[in-house]
């Protein structure tokens, strides 16, 4: 094997930045043009048009872009997808192919020197591939040999708990159900998933306080809300179709409040993609009140709001709190209110970076409106006190009785298009006993009860040479996880790393002793099994389960579907399988029957999933019923503001997404809405901070993170003066993941704290 280093991080080369004015509005003609460009250049025009016609249509496939729901009834062409959804499907439908010849031509080491952009653009993987011990190049392998190797390596582990079975959030319900069933029958709950790095903090906070780890609102609630608060989220880029819902809120007289360290363009102004007449205008104003909070200042801000609400209620009883709701439905109000007294506004205010006047304005909006929806995403979930962030939001809603009724409630906006469904299907390292009981009953085996590894624990177990086999059902583990070099060592310690993937990514290059790539069908492709053409089902961010059927011919005749791959692995692992894996996949209705038999809410699954628009899963919070919590009521909680203190020359760094990436998939090198073209290695800084550091625009700097006396370095970023609070900085992941310490994670949920990295900035 060549002794050149395999790179776990993208190269440091700069790509030639061009700065443009920050646009005043999101969507509009530029977005449509950008969408069509991406689609046609990846797929060609006629395939492109066929693709666009099928995204999110009732008989089409679910857009793999995000988990934002589709309207229950009406679907319009050019409307139910967005610029970034179009980019997501173009990535999958690309004409480019990664064939056995490609792998013979390019060694693993060579590919590891490429940018993530170049790796991704290489195209769809066409054949199952193996990297044998000591070899520099992947070679073609038969499906059966690949399955046999996995079976063999799993069976020689000291314990089933030394296997790790990761899932990313695109996997369908059918594939996810089979996968977790296989893993549990094998004997472990080691089912870490992308959720551990994403909305785990929301799930932890919401289960404890409201008795369900999912949000409570439906799309229609946005038509009825008086006030929508969007906190820690950038929907203009990451959930563009949500802007339509926000616009509907405004059309019906509601207001929008935005809480974010950055004035994200999509949230400020917006042009309706469904109304071409408006494309050339300056757009509608979306945000009515913008609070430019400091990174991780949210608990402090919410505490000030809650204290101001309490003050007003004390002065004018019955004007702020919903006493009837509090009395009937909640638990712990006294302790919660008493605890608020432990903090003074004066000590909280500096953490927010805001003026008290703006916070008072926000408080008035909250006091004067009863139907409030709160939407959030990664800006709240990826901090040490992330669970506190979300529990504090729940406190606010409970005081107002603003949940379990029309136009009000919780809206954690999910990322991956089926990340919520995967959890419902049992992709979870901490399954409930009732779930395991049902599996045992239906499939007659003893399910493991010991909780498994989450993402961070899985990396540590591989690093400690305890866990030895890693299987990834989708995703890009090395690039999505924190502490890149540490995680790379962890993966290299494995005897076997396996990736079920559509496209080439860096995780194929940072491998164990042996490695497999198992190429699978994508969402947009036809899936034909013994009984004919199949469809799969997914659950969106609001608990609607619906079908998704691909229409394109598969990228290669050698691809298998994800359910077929799980069945192949299972058949090769168990010497006397008690489940007929291969017959379950002949017709996915059979898998859905098994789901119906084991998971509540899926009665008549096969009938209901065929109905237009699918069906809603039960949701106790939506029904204003909180009996599943430990107290049987909705729980008030007491929460901690940030305890991070920065030294003079230190900055808080948040690692965020550009407008041209899907997590670790880099669509392009622009971040148009932030005025950046053709460069990813940038760091956004407050102009005053730049001055005091002696930095000028486009100076080249190194970022050094500091955690418990340890330093981590990412070299070569260009400084961009930007509207961001003092001592706050931002840059993009995956480049910055090397700076996120493996031990820096949220209390309770263990989500990597990738939005609160303490750094210093040095000229390079």
Ligand X SMILES: Nc1nc2c(c(=O)[nH]1)N[C@H]1C(S)=C(S)[C@@H](COP(=O)(O)OP(=O)(O)OC[C@H]3O[C@@H](n4cnc5c(=O)[nH]c(N)nc54)[C@H](O)[C@@H]3O)O[C@H]1N2
Give contact residues for Mo ion (rule: CB under 5 A): 198, 415
Tell me which stretch binds ligand X (CB under 6 A): 10-18, 102-110, 137-145, 515-523: 515-523
**Bond from prior residue into 734 cis (ω within 30 degrees of 0):** yes
The CA–CA distances, whole Å, from 322 to 329, 357, 400, 402 equal 11, 25, 5, 9
Q: Is 664 in the site for ligand X (CB under 6 A)?
A: yes
Q: Name the β-bridge partners of 26.
A: 270
Q: Name which of 332 and 519 has its Cβ closer to ligand X.
A: 519
Q: Name which of 10 and 415 has its Cβ closer to Mo ion.
A: 415
Residue from 310, 323, 657, 706 that binds ligand X (CB under 6 A)? 657
Q: Which two structure tokens, joined as six digits, stand for 82?
A: 């967005």
Quick one: DSSP state of residue 372?
E
Tell me which stretch binds ligand X (CB under 6 A): 302-310, 458-466, 608-616, 650-658: 650-658
270 makes contact, choosing from ligand X, Mo ion, none, with CB < 5 to 8 Å by partner type, with: none
Q: Which two structure tokens, joined as six digits, stand for 492?
A: 């290299």
Q: Which of residues 220-249 bind ligand X (CB under 6 A)?
A: 231-234, 237-239
Q: Which of residues 541-570 bind ligand X (CB under 6 A)?
A: 562
Contact 395, 637 (CB under 8 A): yes
Q: Is 651 in the site for ligand X (CB under 6 A)?
A: no
Q: Which of residues 175-194 bind ligand X (CB under 6 A)?
A: 194
The CA–CA distances, whole Å, from 585 to 32, 62, 576, 582 equal 39, 21, 18, 6
Residue-wise DSSP of 116-160: HHHHHHT-EE-S-EEE-TT-SS-EE--HHHHHHHHHHHHHTSSSG
Which x/- pattern, by CB under 6 A, does the window 599-638 give for ligand X?
----------------------------------------
* Closest alpha carbon to 678 in 22, 87, 96, 20: 20
Contact 574, 566 (CB under 8 A): no
* End-to-end CA, the chain: 34
User: Could you tell me the smallest distance in angstroms from the CB atom of residue 172 to ligand X?
Assistant: 8
Q: Name the β-bridge partners of 653.
A: 729, 757
Q: Is 475 in the site for ligand X (CB under 6 A)?
A: yes
What percent helix, strand, coil does the chain show, rounded to 5? 35, 20, 45
Q: Name the β-bridge partners of 372.
A: 227
Q: Where does residue 630 rank: exposed (0-12), middle (13-18), buried (19+ CB within 10 A)?
A: exposed
Residue-wise DSSP of 201-258: HHHHHHHHHHS-SS----TTHHHH-SEEEEES--HHHH-TTHHHHHHHHHHTT-EEEE
Q: Is 290 in the site for ligand X (CB under 6 A)?
A: no
Using Cβ positions, the residue closest to Mo ion within the complex turns out to be 415
User: Could you tell me the smallest distance in angstroms from the CB atom of residue 237 to Mo ion?
Assistant: 13
The H-or-E segment that residue 89 falls in is helix 83-92
Q: Name which of 745 and 755 has its Cβ closer to ligand X.
A: 755
548 makes contact, choosing from ligand X, Mo ion, none, with CB < 5 to 8 Å by partner type, with: none
* Closest alpha carbon to 667 in 13, 12, 69, 91: 91
Q: How far is CA 94 from the centre of its chain?
A: 23
User: Could you tell me the smallest distance in angstroms from the CB atom of residue 65 to ligand X?
Assistant: 6
Q: Name which of 561 and 693 has its Cβ closer to ligand X.
A: 561
Q: Name which of 266 and 452 has its Cβ closer to ligand X.
A: 266
The CA–CA distances, whole Å, from 369 to 470, 645, 716 equal 50, 35, 48
Q: Name which of 195 and 497 has its Cβ closer to Mo ion.
A: 195
Instruction: Look up tokens 């520099």; give the residue.
Output: 136
Q: Is 665 in the site for ligand X (CB under 6 A)?
A: yes
Residue from 384, 503, 712, 750 that binds ligand X (CB under 6 A)? 503
Tell me which stretch binds ligand X (CB under 6 A): 244-252, 484-492, 585-593, 655-663: 655-663
Q: Is 751 in the site for ligand X (CB under 6 A)?
A: no
Which x/- pattern, by CB under 6 A, does the window 412-441 give for ligand X?
---xx-------------------------
Residue from 260, 402, 573, 693 that binds ligand X (CB under 6 A)? 260
733 makes contact, choosing from Mo ion, ligand X, none, with CB < 5 to 8 Å by partner type, with: ligand X
Using CB under 6 A as the binding criterion, the count of chain residues that bind ligand X stands at: 61
Q: Name which of 123 and 232 has its Cβ closer to Mo ion.
A: 232
Instruction: Look up tokens 């490429």; give the residue.
Output: 114
Q: Is 379 in the site for ligand X (CB under 6 A)?
A: yes
Q: Name which of 66 and 206 has its Cβ closer to ligand X.
A: 66
Q: Name which of 198 and 299 has its Cβ closer to Mo ion.
A: 198
Q: Is 674 in the site for ligand X (CB under 6 A)?
A: no
The H-or-E segment that residue 52 falls in is helix 45-54
From CA 100, how far away is CA 98, in angstroms rounded?
A: 7
* Closest alpha carbon to 488 in 200, 758, 737: 737
Residue from 476, 639, 705, 729 that binds ligand X (CB under 6 A)? 476
* Closest alpha carbon to 431 in 596, 571, 577, 599: 599
Q: Is 454 in the site for ligand X (CB under 6 A)?
A: no
217 makes contact, choosing from ligand X, Mo ion, none, with CB < 5 to 8 Å by partner type, with: none
Q: Is 502 in the site for ligand X (CB under 6 A)?
A: yes
User: Could you tell me the smallest distance in angstroms from the CB atom of residue 643 to Mo ion?
Assistant: 25
Q: Is 173 in the site for ligand X (CB under 6 A)?
A: no
User: Could you tell me the smallest distance in angstroms from the CB atom of residue 189 to Mo ion?
Assistant: 21
Q: Is 378 in the site for ligand X (CB under 6 A)?
A: yes
Judged by DSSP in three states, 571 sits in helix
Q: What are the residues binding ligand X (CB under 6 A)? A: 65-66, 84, 168-170, 194, 197-198, 231-234, 237-239, 259-262, 264, 293, 295-296, 298, 377-379, 382, 415-416, 473-477, 480, 500-503, 505, 520, 522-523, 562, 654-657, 661-665, 733, 736-737, 740, 754-755
């Amino acid at each position: 094997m060549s002794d050149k280093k395999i790179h776990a991080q993208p190269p440091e080369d700069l790509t030639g930045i061009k700065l443009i004015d920050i646009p005043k509005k999101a969507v509009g003609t530029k977005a449509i043009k950008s969408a069509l460009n991406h689609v046609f250049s990846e797929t060609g025009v006629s395939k492109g048009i066929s693709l666009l016609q099928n995204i999110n249509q009732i008989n089409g496939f679910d857009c793999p872009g995000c988990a934002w729901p589709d309207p229950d009834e009406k679907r319009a062409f050019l409307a139910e997808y967005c610029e970034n959804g179009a980019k997501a499907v173009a990535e999958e439908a690309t004409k480019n192919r990664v064939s056995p010849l490609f792998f013979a031509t390019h060694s693993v080491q060579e590919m590891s020197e490429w940018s993530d952009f170049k790796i991704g653009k290489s195209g769809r993987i066409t054949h199952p591939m193996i990297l044998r011990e000591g070899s520099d190049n992947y070679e073609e392998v038969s499906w059966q040999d690949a399955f046999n190797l996995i079976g063999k390596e799993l069976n020689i582990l000291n314990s089933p708990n030394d296997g790790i079975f990761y899932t990313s959030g695109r996997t369908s319900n059918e594939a996810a159900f089979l996968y977790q069933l296989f893993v549990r029958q094998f004997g472990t709950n080691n089912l870490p998933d992308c959720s551990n790095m994403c909305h785990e903090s929301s799930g932890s906070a919401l289960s404890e306080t409201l008795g369900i780890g999912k949000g409570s609102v439906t799309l229609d609630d946005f038509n009825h809300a008086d006030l929508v608060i969007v906190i820690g989220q950038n929907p203009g880029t990451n959930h563009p179709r949500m802007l339509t819902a926000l616009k509907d809120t405004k059309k019906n007289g509601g207001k929008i409040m935005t809480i974010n360290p950055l004035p994200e363009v999509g949230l400020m102004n917006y042009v309706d993609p469904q109304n071409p007449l408006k494309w050339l205008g300056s757009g509608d104003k979306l945000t009515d009140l913008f609070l430019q909070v400091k990174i991780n200042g949210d608990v402090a801000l919410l505490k000030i709001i809650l204290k101001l609400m309490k003050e007003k209620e004390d002065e004018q009883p019955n004007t702020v709190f919903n006493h009837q709701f509090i009395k009937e439905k909640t638990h712990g109000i006294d302790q919660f209110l008493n605890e608020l007294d432990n903090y003074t506004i004066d000590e909280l205010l500096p953490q927010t970076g805001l003026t008290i006047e703006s916070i008072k304005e926000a408080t008035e909006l909250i006091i004067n409106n009863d139907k409030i929806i709160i939407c959030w995403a990664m800006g709240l979930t990826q901090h040490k006190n992330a669970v506190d962030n979300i529990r504090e939001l729940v406190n606010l809603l409970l005081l107002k009785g603003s949940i379990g009724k029309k136009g009000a409630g919780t809206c954690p906006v999910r990322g991956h298009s089926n990340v919520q469904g995967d959890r419902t299907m049992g992709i979870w390292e901490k399954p409930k006993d009732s779930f395991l009981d049902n599996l045992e009953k239906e499939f007659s085996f003893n399910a493991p009860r010991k909780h498994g590894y989450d993402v961070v624990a899985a990396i540590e177990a591989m690093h400690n040479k305890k866990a030895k086999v890693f299987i990834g059902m989708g995703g890009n583990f090395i690039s999505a996880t924190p502490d890149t070099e540490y995680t790379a060592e962890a993966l290299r310690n494995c005897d076997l790393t396996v990736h079920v993937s559509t496209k080439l990514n860096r995780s194929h290059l940072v491998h164990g002793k042996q490695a497999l790539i198992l190429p699978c069908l994508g969402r947009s492709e036809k899936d034909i099994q013994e009984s004919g053409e199949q469809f799969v089902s997914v659950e969106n961010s609001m608990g609607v389960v619906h079908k998704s059927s691909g229409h394109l011919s598969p990228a290669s005749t050698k691809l298998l579907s994800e359910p077929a791959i799980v069945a192949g692995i299972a058949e090769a692992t168990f010497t006397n399988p008690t489940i007929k894996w291969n017959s379950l996949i002949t017709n996915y209705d059979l898998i859905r029957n098994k789901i119906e038999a084991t998971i509540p809410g899926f009665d008549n699954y096969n009938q209901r999933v065929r109905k237009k628009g699918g069906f809603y899963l039960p949701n106790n919070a939506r029904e204003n019923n909180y009996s599943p919590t430990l107290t049987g009521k909705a729980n008030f909680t007491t929460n901690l503001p940030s305890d991070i203190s920065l030294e003079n020359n230190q900055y808080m760094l948040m690692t965020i997404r550009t407008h041209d990436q899907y997590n670790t998939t880099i669509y392009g090198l622009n971040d148009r809405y932030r005025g950046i073209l053709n460069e990813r290695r940038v760091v956004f800084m407050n102009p005053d901070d730049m001055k005091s550091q002696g930095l000028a625009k486009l100076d080249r700097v190194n970022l050094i993170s500091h955690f418990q006396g340890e330093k981590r370095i990412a070299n070569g970023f260009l400084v961009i003066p930007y509207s961001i609070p003092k001592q706050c900085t931002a840059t993009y992941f995956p480049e910055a993941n090397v700076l996120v310490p493996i031990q820096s994670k949220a209390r309770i949920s263990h989500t990597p704290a990738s939005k609160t990295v303490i750094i210093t900035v040095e000229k390079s």
